[in-house]
Amino acid sequence: MTRDGLPVRSWVFPGNTADVATVAKVKEDLRGWRLGRCVFVGDAGMNSADNRRSLALGGGKYILASRMRSGDEVTDEVMSRTGRYQEVRDNLRVKEVIVGDGERRQRYVVCHNPAEAERQRRRRERTVAELEVELESLRQSNTGTHSKRACELRTSARFGKYLKESSTGKLSVNRGAVSDAERYDGKWVITSNDDTLSAEDLALGYKQLMRVEDCWRTLKSGIRLRPVFHFTPWRIRAHVTISVLALLLERIVELRTADTWRNVRAQLERIQVVEYDHGDARVRQTTKLRPETETLLRKLKVAVPPKLHGIEPQPVADSVGQA
């Protein structure tokens, strides 16, 4: 993708392809493009020592997400480092953290979305409240610590992380786990070896990847295209190509209008063609456009649809055989 988020090329790999192999293939294919500058952006699944070394070969630059709860330097040093956040945009703040010196120096950027943090906090409060109700129900039923419901709570992906078990087997809310979860509300951490990019550039560059991942989720339903029963490679490649083209159109629309695709689509859906009978003729015409819709079409460099689409005579009923 370009800096403005316009997709340029996509790749499709078998599901069992190792991350290092995909990185090597992409870098090899891009050599012939004579790009002035290329930055590789990847999620936390791509962030490994081998991948970072491979991406850095030949002066390559990268922006990678880092796992926050893995117990390494990100958890112990980056997340606990104090400092003031820099306001970048609405609902986005960044804080730069440097760990180590010399060759071991690693640059991190902690990103924070206050709106997302509030949403996660409310969701956790609802989860803990429901968990307390479940635990109270277990105590009242007095079915023992090894009841089926107690086992389900301990193994639940939703409730299990907020549970603790005493030496006697009694379940209760783990307040320490609840407090620890608050540290990560609305946050994500990225790392990069490109010192020419500011913390803001790194955060916005990584958000482009989040935008692509969101598009994969929404385009499947938005254009009624589902990755179901794809048994042949060419079908999979065709599906991805159509999705990339749809993303390209979305981004062009957003750049020209300086608005989100969701808002633009809502405006365009107001343009409708209606059919009605007028005397002996069937008329098709466009509904009257609102001023804001006409302004939007001018920004998109799209001609205003004609008011009249066609007039057809009504078919004369056949009277043969009628009484």
* pLDDT given for residue 216 in this prediction: 64
- At 261-290, the pLDDT tens digits run 889 999 999 999 999 888 888 889 999 999
What value does the mean pLDDT take over residues 90-98? 88
Enumerate residues 6+ apart whose C-beta is below 8 A from 209: 41, 42, 43
Element (H, E) at 165: strand 163-165
Torsion of CA 251, 252, 253, 258, to 10 degrees: 80
Residue 153: pLDDT band (50, 70, 90) is confident
Is the distance from CB of 95 to CB of 84 less than 8 angstroms?
Answer: yes
Determine the Cα angle at 248 with ends 245 and 252, to 5°. 145
Query: Which amino acid is present at 272?
Result: Q
Average pLDDT (65-92) is: 85
Q: Nearest Cα to 56, choosing from 23, 13, 18, 105?
A: 23
256 vs 235, more confident: 256
Question: What's the pLDDT band for 323 if we cut at 50, 70, 90?
Answer: very low
- Cβ atoms of 124 and 118 within 8 Å: the answer is no
Helix, strand, or coil (residue 161)? helix
Q: What one-letter code names the amino acid at 174?
A: N
Res 119 pLDDT > 60: yes
Q: Which of the four pLDDT bands, split at 50, 70 and 90, describes residue 299?
A: very high
Which pLDDT band holds residue 81 (cuts at 50, 70, 90)?
confident
